[in-house]
Structure 1
Amino acid sequence: MLKKLLLIVLLTSYTFAMPKEQIVEEMTKSIHKVIDILKNKQLPKKTKGEQIIKVMDSSFDYKIMAMLSLGKEWRTISNEQKINFAKAFENRLKESYIDKLDLYNNQEIKIDELEEVKARLILKTTLIGEKENFAIDYKFYENRKNKQWYIYDVSIAKVSIIQTYRNQFTQYLKNKSIDDLINYLNTKNNQA
């Protein structure tokens, strides 16, 4: 079930970095566009994934997501390792949700509210399922350079995707190196 929810979260994040006052409107439009792509039975799975990724790339800050997923380990690795890990992590996120495109089963997303918490924004939404509903929170931060808002994390039923990855990576790094983790992610990406 968590895999299915993760798929919906990533697929409906078909938006782009935007000013704060446009987040709700743009996310609403984008969610409808993605759902239309998903419902198009004429498009092959790979094409659907490519279309969604093309636009999704500009909505997420993958470097920040990679940094947060490593936690304090990020500060201890070289610049080259940071670049390699960030790319491997970004590719793993993309490959993971393309693999799960078949899990989409006509769910809908309802936008509830945009909440400001300190210097962050949380777009609260609800995934309307056949049997139950799930809260999905898109977490945004403002890039100080361009004054646009980017997604840096998503919580599904109060479980953070970034925290989940951080827990997995922390366990992995207890016995292996960051280079081993990068190689592992790249191997998983190449298998997809």
Structure 2
Amino acid sequence: MYMKKVLFLLISLFVFSNNLFALEESKIKEIMQAKIDTVIEILQEKTQTKLEKTEKIFLIMDEVFDYKIMSQIALGSDWKNLSSQEKDEFTKLFELRLKNSYIDKLDLYTNQKIEINDLEKINPKRIKLLTYLIGKDDKYEIEYKFFKATDNNWLIYDVNIIGVSIMQTYRQQFSGYLKNNSFKDLLVSLNGSNK
């Protein structure tokens, strides 16, 4: 259970995007390895506060995910019924929730390593990068899913942890919630959980 919490901590630090950066296909492994190594160094730093660490990590990892696409996946068919303002509001609250969840779990990290393995092109518009979280006694599979954002640029739209999609997990949660509640209720709930 502890390792799974650490796994979520390390994965969730990748789930923040401002769409100012994209990866070329040929550089995905190289850039992801460099970012992961830098994040691990920050997590291992003993003299910095939790806030200092999170600010540095967000600056490093804000570049690699398409957060708007992830929000759309998380809401599923409900996304198309929203106004532009509602989409923007949901995206901001969803991002903040993920960041707060990450900050809450920051103290769980205790020198686990992440090993980058294979990069596989599924089709002309989809790539997956297989990595492993390696602890003292356990090894967990982490799969980053990339999509072709523009002609030569790729961004992450989902992450599978031990075969379970983060975005599909949120999609199920939000879908279940919206069966009995309004979208405004969902925004209030997300806003409340971020305080």
TM-score computed with the length of structure 1 as normaliser: 0.93
Partner of 2:142: 136
Secondary structure at the aligned position of 1:172 is classed as helix
Which amino acid in 1 is paired with 2:166? I
Alpha-carbon distance between aligned partners in 2 of 1:67 and 1:179, rounded to the nearest angstrom: 16
Change over 3 Å in CA distance of 1:122–1:140 after alignment to 2: same
Cα distance change, pair 85–11 in 1 and its aligned pair in 2 (3 A): closer
Mapped contact 2:15–2:98 kept (Cα < 8 A): no
Structure 1 counterpart of 2:103: 98
Cα distance in 2 for partners of 1:12, 1:85 equals: 19
Q: 2:187 aligned to 179, 182, 191, which one? A: 182
Residue in 2 that maps onto 1:110: 115
Distance 1:6 1:180 in 2: 26
Q: Residue deviations 1:147-179, cap 9 Å, x none?
A: 321111100000000011001101111111111
Relative to structure 1, the CA distance from residue 19 to residue 32 in structure 2 (aligned partners, 3 Å threshold; closer, same or farther) is same
Residue 158 of structure 1 aligns with which residue?
A: 163
Q: 1:70 to 1:14 in 2, by over 3 A?
A: closer
Q: Secondary structure at the match of 2:180?
A: coil
1:126 is aligned, of 132, 139, 144, to: 132
Consecutive unaligned residues in structure 1, runs of 5 or more? none
Deviation string 1:79-121 (CA, Å, 9 cap, x unpaired) is 2111111111111111111111011111001111101112211
Q: CA 1:55–1:91 in structure 2 vs 1: closer, same or farther (change >3 Å)?
A: same
| Pairing 1:61–2:66 present | yes
Dislocated runs of 4+, deviation >6 Å: 12-15
Q: Unaligned 5+ residue runs, structure 2?
A: none
Distance in 2 separating the partners of 1:85 and 1:148 = 25
Question: Given residue 82 of structure 1, which amino acid in structure 2 is its aligned partner?
Answer: K
Report sequence identity in percent: 48
The match for 2:40 is 35
Q: CA RMSD in A?
A: 1.7
TM-score if structure 2 supplies the norm length?
A: 0.91
Match status 1:11 vs 2:7: no
